[in-house]
Structure formats: structure tokens, C-alpha cells
Chain A
Amino acid sequence: DTAVSQTPKYLVTQMGNDKSIKCEQNLGHDTMYWYKQDSKKFLKIMFSYNNKELIINETVPNRFSPKSPDKAHLNLHINSLELGDSAVYFCASTPGGLAGAIYEQYFGPGTRLTVT
């Protein structure tokens, strides 16, 4: 059983397109995150949700819009894709509440987005 799953694993698209990445966790966790890992392997938080409510929005361009239909799912929609959006996007979850980051994080396998 996959704890945190993401789809798709790979996404190749052209500049200007709109795309979505989906994430699901079956761990019963309250808090979910989106991270971006660039080509230098730097992992940076983008968003966090706690029980479907947005907690963190880390100065991410508003072309990125997360949506959490329920606490087990956190999707990421990206409008008007740019070359600089190429990266690996990771979803993660933790069992804690608003201070969920004090607990270990469970990461998904990542989605490699390539914008051409």
C-alpha cells in the first residue's frame, strides 16, 4: 500500500499550458504539503494545508493554485507554465495539526515536470 501517492510521475508540456498534479495520502494525516525541488536538489516548501485549510503559501506565483477537496487529497494546478517551473514536485504529509512540521514528513515519489 502506497502511503503518499502522486500522479503523474512524469509530465512534459509546453510553455503556456495548464497542468495539474494530484496527491493522495492514506495515512490519515491532517497536514499535507507541496514542495519544489530544483535542479540543485534544493527542496523548498510551497504550500501546506491542514484539514483542507491553507496554512502556508510561500510567496509562490499565483499561477500555482493548490486545492484540497478533503484532508486525504491535495492537488496542485499550474496555469501558464513557464520554463522555470521545470522541477520535481513532491507532496508530503504529517500527522500533526497546525504544528505538523514538528513530526516526520512522509513524501510521495515526486512528479518530474519538464516545460519546453
Chain B
Amino acid sequence: SQKIEQNSEALNIQEGKTATLTCNYTNYSPAYLQWYRQDPGRGPVFLLLIRENEKEKRKERLKVTFDTTLKQSLFHITASQPADSATYLCALLSSYNTDKLIFGTGTRLQVFP
């Protein structure tokens, strides 16, 4: 069956460190992968998009990698800050169905001062 898995446990890190979040997928042929941030009581906010033929994408302190061999995307936040504390969702667009995004369950990140 098709699955998109993110660490269900919260990730706790100290301010200034690099946070690395994982998104693994099975039985998908993704064309695109997107990352979103969701704060409590709010809707998800788009962060980055990476295509299947791209290895890496950067935006300020954020970096996303996409390894179609490992079937995995990693999301990095460098020099993390308490304001980065939120739930981060990965979302995949299958190359066989470009009508909809399939979301993972998200990983909650807590950055401590």
C-alpha cells in the first residue's frame, strides 16, 4: 500500500542547532514533493517545493533534499530558533495523479532556547 511517513514523535533540539526532519514514502512515484509548516490553530503554510529531478533546494535557513533511490526527503533548518517550533508536513504529488497532494502526518519540532 502507499504510505508517506514522517517521525510521529516530536523532535526536540537546542537553539542554534540544525534540525533535520525526515519524510519517507513507499509505493509512490513522486513528481514533486512539498514541505509545509503548520502552527497550532492555523492552516499549513507552504515552505519549499522540490522536483523529482532535483537533489536539493534551499531557501534562507531551509534546505530540502530529495533522494528517489532511498524514497526519502530530508528537511533541514539551520541555526534553528524557538520561532521555528511548529509541525512540519511533507506532501507528495504522484506522477500518475497530478490532481492532488498526499500529505504525511507531520513532525512536531520544538526548539529550546
For the complex, is B22 an interface residue (Cβ under 8 Å from A)? no
Interface size on B, residues (CB 8 A): 23
CB distance from A76 to the nearest CB of B (A): 15
B contacts with A: majority SS = strand
| B44 close to chain A: CB less than 8 A | yes
Query: Within A49-105, which residues are at the interface with B (CB < 8 Å)?
Result: 55-56, 58, 90, 92, 98-102, 104-105
A21 at the interface (CB under 8 A from B): no
Q: Can you name the residue of chain A whose Cβ is closest to the Cβ of B45?
A: A107
Q: In the complex, are the beta carbons of B43 and A4 less than 8 A apart?
A: yes
Q: Which stretch, B13-21, B64-72, B76-84, B92-100, touches the partner chain A?
A: B92-100
Q: With A48-B100, A109-B43 given, can you name 12 additional A-B contacts, CB distance below 8 Å?
A: A42-B103, A43-B44, A43-B106, A90-B43, A99-B98, A101-B93, A101-B99, A102-B93, A102-B98, A105-B46, A108-B43, A109-B41
